[in-house]
Structure formats: structure tokens, C-alpha cells
Homo-oligomer: A and B are copies of this chain.
């Protein structure tokens, strides 16, 4: 039997929390590349919180996924067949092929990867969208000054882990918020944050736990989660605090609008809040390329991958991501990575 193109389609739109039956796993014939196109096999698929928005009908950043269409997502693939002179069989590429095992592309938005420069999967985590998200939000909006306190939620995640390590490299006190002892231990002992608050253990005492971790208040709050964590953090902002608003993962499954904080708090303390999405700023990443890849190479920025094997497991992994079940950057290994032992 010929190999098929395995795909995960959006079958129905979730009401609140996504469930397995919102997805459909199917096989289709592997497409043939036309003139100027190539066919790639997907090796790594990135799972990211923003995908929840693409599953909804509600207006979001970008066009939503249509019913019956493959879920979208960043991928690393290897060229199988090429009719595009810029890409040769065997080349590795960063692409946006979505939740499928094979894809045809004209390569316009693809970037060739050198497997000797960094592990292929890093292009989807610390050197890719999550790492650039961390750098942009912290450096361009948060603008941390040495001696200030930077708090980041989802601190063990792909974005949060880079935020805190960058804050440390810039002379700040870095405080993470994460769920569970293992994640908090990782954040402080492996990543070198000054403190990490376990929001699950803290429960109703979260405000106090944050205060203990931030005796001088909070100058930058890098917001990934919203909800109860946000409610505990915002009253502890210092005057002129900056809040890069990157994500609100705890709210993505909520059907109704959730009340935010009283704006009097933002007014009295002259707080800046700025929502951002990294894809608006891909052309302004010179500072990222100067700072982050060398720091990763030198071991001053560490990262962790949470790898799920097999495309069929993507839906369950994604549902878990929205609950914080992952530990590190969540990746689906769709097929063999020949560069990895």
C-alpha cells in the first residue's frame, strides 16, 4: 500500500474546552508538487496556545481554520521531492504545514535550516516563534532595567522560560509562576530564576506567595495566562510598570467575556499594557538574532522540549496544553529526525 498523507482536520468548533471529537484524523493521497513547488515530509509539529483561537469562529488575529481543513501550525520538514530550484531533496525547512504528515509548498514562506547550527526542533522553540515572542515582548515592551523585578507566568513554558532567563541576563530579579513543584524546581534550579511561585500549591494564598517572591513589587509582568494569576499579580505592580500582554491561556476556553481588572489600578500606577503578536514583528528581530542564539549556544539560555510521538496524539496533547499539562515546549514528532540520535 502506498504511503498516505496523514492529516488532522478540524471537524467541529469547540464550545469551551476542545475535545477529541472536534478533530478528525484521516488519510489522503500524498499530493504531487507542481512546477515551482516542493513536497516535504513533516518531522516536527509545534503545538501552541494560539491555535485555540483558530478553532473558533470568533474574530482573531488571522483567518480561522475552516471546518474540514487541516489544523494550522509551524513545522520542520524535510524535502522529499522538489520542482523548485531553491530547495533540494534532503533539505530541512521551517514551514507552516500544519497538522499533517506531508505538504506541498511553493517555498515562499519557508526557511532552510542548517542542522549543524542548532537542533532542528529549536527552530520551533527557543530560536523560533516562542523565543522571538519572549524577546520581543520583554525587550520592546517590558524594557527591563537592571535591578527591577520581572514576573512571568507559565514560567516553565516555551515563552516564559526565555523571558525569565533574558531578565536575569539583563540584571533583573526574575520570578516565575508555574503549576507544580517539578516545574518550579526546574525554573529556579535549572533556569536560574530567583524564585518561582507554585500557583497550584498556593491556592487562595497566591497573592501572598507572589508578594513574598517580590518584596520590591513588580516592574514588568509578562502575561501569558490571565485569570487568577493575573488577579494576584496586578495589584502588586509598581508605579510605571509594564505589562507585555502575550497570552491569556486560562481564558481561551471561556465562552463568555471574562471581566478584567479595574482600570483605576492601571491609572493610579501609570501602568502600560500592550497586547502583541510576534508575527507583526518578524522583520524587527535584529536584536533577537544578536542576543539569543549565542546565549543558547553558550548555555546561558536553556530550553526544554516536551515531545509527543505520532501525529495521531496531537489532539490529546493540544487539549492538555490548554490545561498546562505540558512541561517545556510541546512538540509532536511526526516522523523520524535523521539529525537526532
Contacts and interface: CB of A to CB of B under 8 A. Distances in A.
- Chain A contact residues (Cβ within 8 angstroms of B): what range? 20 to 34
Nearest to A241: B275
A5 interface: no
A60 interface: yes
A264 B274 contact: no
B280 A270 contact: yes
B257 A266 contact: no
B272 A272 contact: yes
A136 to B, nearest CB: 12
Contact of A260 (B223, B245, B260, B270): B260
Contacts of A139: none
A267 B223 CA distance: 10
A275 B269 contact: yes
Contact of A276 (B246, B270, B277): B270
Contacts of A277: 270
Nearest to A276: B270
B280 A275 contact: no
Contact of A273 (B226, B272, B280): B272
A249 to B, nearest CB: 11
B259 A262 contact: yes
Interface string A147-168: 0000000000000000000000
Contacts of A264: 226, 248, 251, 257-258
Residue from the set A59, A248, A264 with the largest chain B CB neighbour count within 10 Å: A264
Contacts of A275: 263, 266-272
Given A258-B262, A259-B259, A260-B261, A267 B280 contact: no
A261 B263 CA distance: 9
Contacts of A258: 262, 264
Interface of A: 53, 59-61, 223, 226, 230, 245-248, 251, 257-277, 280
Given A257-B262, A259-B260, 15 more contacts: A226-B264, A230-B263, A245-B266, A251-B264, A257-B264, A257-B265, A260-B262, A267-B275, A268-B275, A270-B276, A271-B274, A271-B275, A272-B272, A272-B275, A273-B273
